[in-house]
Amino acid sequence: MKTKIKTIHEEVQNTDSDKSVGVLLNSEVNGVFNEALFFIYRNNMYIFFETLTDLINYNLYGEDENIRRAYVKEELFDNLYDIDQIDGKFSENIEWV
């Protein structure tokens, strides 16, 4: 399966920092598959979550072993974002903790 990603919404949380939250859409090229992931961006790092609840809990309470997340450096994310197609789902190309 070939997919591509695009940011469908992003909000800067504070104008004095580079912290933002957003939603990433991963969709199949010429297909029906869609996947939405929520993210926080700060300090040149994207932190992805499968659910909005996990993002909110992480933002409020910090790291927790019960919150599934993936840390992606800005350089890797930019490489995946800039290519025309990704082999497989975006969520399969990042490492979850």
Across the beta sheet with 45-49, the strand order is 69-73, 45-49, 34-42, 20-28, 2-12, 86-87
Model confidence pLDDT, tens digit, residues 21-40:
999 999 998 878 899 999 99
Please tell me whether residue 38 adopts helix, strand or coil conformation: strand
What's the mean pLDDT in 80-90? 91
> What is the tens place of the pLDDT at every residue in 35-54?
999 999 988 999 999 999 99
pTM of the entire structure? 0.88
